[in-house]
Amino acid sequence: MIDVVIAGGGPTGLVLAGELRLHGVSVVVLEREREPTEVVRALGLHARSIEVLDQRGIAERFLDAGQTHPLAGFFAGIERPAPRRLGTKYPVVLGLPQPHVERLLTEHAVQAGAEIRRGSTLTAFSQDDDGVAVGLADGTSLRARYLVGCDGGRSTVRKLAGIGFPGEPTRVETLLGEMEIGVPWEEAMPVVLEVRKTQKRFGIGPIGGSATYRVVVPADGVNPDRSVMPTLDDFREQLRRVAGTDFGVHSARWLSRFGDATRQAERYRSGRVFLAGDAAHVHPPTGGQGLNLGVQDAFNLGWKLAAAVRGWAPPGLLDTYEAERHPVAEEVLDNTRAQIELMKVEPGPQAVRRLLTELVRFEEVNRYLVEKIIAVSIRYDFGSENDLVGRRIDDLALERGGLYERMRAGRGILLDQSGSLSAGGWADRVDHLVEVSEDLDAPAVLLRPDGHVAWAGEDQEGLEAELTRWFGTAC
């Protein structure tokens, strides 16, 4: 029996596969596409996602392949310099198109031992008390302990599980593609900048110094058939309507469309079946949060699912996945709804936009909005009055290197500045680091494998209660 079958080989599924393999869990990833796509659905990674990669020792691969950009103008395109002291070692946006992100995540998952089956489509499943039987389009089947649907907004897993997907349908549609333009960029750029002053859903920009440009332009209404891709003539027509010129676009590499549908799964779990990424939530791409939200779903679920497979998960641990990640996605849905409204050209939304533009001049407002986008302000509710508990932790400077270097194995960590505590009964799941950090304002902290603080304090009894809560019974 396979431990975990993952439906969907995008960023969410690949991160989850890597996390599970870190704990020796057997994984099969089913990806319906035979070849990697060239369609660029997302353009890069935010701070929290880079931190996640760093905690597993692979961030440099992504940083070397991409280009970092300052954190400015990422809330509805309102221009404002990034706030100071964001509390992350990565106060940037990493520009790296999704196909490149997927390639690097695939390499990591395969190196870790995950099996990825391309051209393999899940068509059915049934579950019992011991596992899940997965049926494939070619007539074969698999048996697994758990199934995770990372198969996108039209998730087959979600539909077969009977999980509702309430929300709002697409009301605003945008065309997106990569193509060449027929005029010099020096001539096109002033026109683009002028149109962008009022139409934030429009943009043209060169891709990596090549002759190809990424083109984004509002569509003419909403196409009821989401499977029908736009044509180059559709782009030409809309460019002339919005910018007064079609820029001589030609030689398209790929063309696509996206809407502002906003939906969230009613629940993230049905027995031994889980949802993550776009299968659990869809929203407009404003702020570039979709890929990052899915990556962070996987990082939250991975160690918990591994704990269940390995037999040490405490009661209710798997249920904390939905309890923690559902509210996070709710907030992302809300902020993307707000951003879409702020990007409309009607007088009302424009008036609100001008007001918010004034407000973000205040440092704390600017910080609040930016931290929402880059996901460094997330605090899970663990029922503690200590503000540190539930938050993710930055890469603290320790006496011997950085904290993230110590998190590569995906285990819990007791960072003990006093040296008076013990996690001996959980030594097979938790590392005890007796080190001092000037950056940590607590005698000791207990970190989960995903880098969130599970406990902070100095009393052994309180520590053991939280060790039991998150890491099961002591040996």
Confidence label for 135 from pLDDT (cuts 50, 70 and 90)? very high
Which whole number is the average pLDDT over 132-160? 97
Q: Is 351 helix (H, G, I), strand (E, B) or coil?
A: helix
Contacts of 353 (CB under 8 A, 6+ apart): 76, 78, 342, 343
Q: Are 117 and 6 part of one and the same domain?
A: yes
Q: Is 387 part of a structural domain of the chain?
A: no
Which whole number is the average pLDDT over 176-198? 94
Q: Are 154 and 284 part of one and the same domain?
A: yes
Judging by DSSP bridges, how do beta strands 430-433 and 412-416 pair with one another?
Answer: parallel
Q: Are 128 and 215 part of one and the same domain?
A: no
Which whole number is the average pLDDT over 53-77? 91
Q: Is 379 part of a structural domain of the chain?
A: no
Prediction pTM value: 0.94
Confidence label for 41 from pLDDT (cuts 50, 70 and 90)? confident
Q: Are 157 and 190 part of one and the same domain?
A: no
- Which stretch of DSSP H or E encloses residue 26? none
Confidence label for 208 from pLDDT (cuts 50, 70 and 90)? confident
- Our count of domains for the chain comes to 3
Among 238, 259, 280, the domain-final residue is 259
Confidence label for 211 from pLDDT (cuts 50, 70 and 90)? confident
Note the pLDDT of residue 468.
98
Give percent of the chain above pLDDT 70: 100
Q: Is 285 part of a structural domain of the chain?
A: yes
**DSSP letter for each residue of 276-309:** -GGGTEE---TTS-HHHHHHHHHHHHHHHHHHHH
Q: Is 431 part of a structural domain of the chain?
A: yes
Q: Are 163 and 217 part of one and the same domain?
A: no
Note the pLDDT of residue 240.
97
Q: Are 157 and 56 part of one and the same domain?
A: yes
Phi/psi at 463 (nearest 5 deg)?
Answer: -60, -45
Domain with 222 in it: what CATH number?
Answer: 3.30.70.2450
CA-to-CA dists, residue 106 to 45, 103, 115, 344, 442, angstroms: 16, 5, 10, 38, 38
**Contact, 389 vs 380, CB < 8 A?**
no
Q: Are 106 and 225 part of one and the same domain?
A: no
Q: Is 47 part of a structural domain of the chain?
A: yes
Which whole number is the average pLDDT over 423-443? 95
Q: Are 284 and 230 part of one and the same domain?
A: no
Which whole number is the average pLDDT over 184-211? 91
Note the pLDDT of residue 53.
98
Confidence label for 198 from pLDDT (cuts 50, 70 and 90)? confident
Is pLDDT at 226 greater than 80 in this prediction?
no
Question: Which of 72, 69, 48, 47 shows the shortest CA–CA distance to 360?
Answer: 72
Among 204, 225, 259, the domain-final residue is 259
Domain with 320 in it: what CATH number?
Answer: 3.50.50.60
Q: Is 381 part of a structural domain of the chain?
A: no
Confidence label for 286 from pLDDT (cuts 50, 70 and 90)? confident
pLDDT one-digit tens code per residue, 444-464: 999 999 999 999 999 999 999
Q: Are 111 and 229 part of one and the same domain?
A: no
Note the pLDDT of residue 38.
80
Domain with 439 in it: what CATH number?
Answer: 3.40.30.120
Q: Is 384 part of a structural domain of the chain?
A: no
pLDDT one-digit tens code per residue, 242-264: 999 999 999 999 999 988 899 99
Confidence label for 83 from pLDDT (cuts 50, 70 and 90)? confident
pLDDT one-digit tens code per residue, 418-427: 999 999 999 9
Mean pLDDT of the chain: 94
Query: What count of other Cβ atoms lies within 10 Å of the Cβ of residue 161?
Result: 21
- Domain around 101: 2-167+263-374
Q: Are 196 and 219 part of one and the same domain?
A: yes
Question: Which of 257, 259, 260, 238 shows the shortest CA–CA distance to 249?
Answer: 238
Q: Are 55 and 84 part of one and the same domain?
A: yes
How far apart, in whole angstroms, are the C-alpha atoms of residue 296 and residue 249? Answer: 37
Q: Are 346 and 405 part of one and the same domain?
A: no
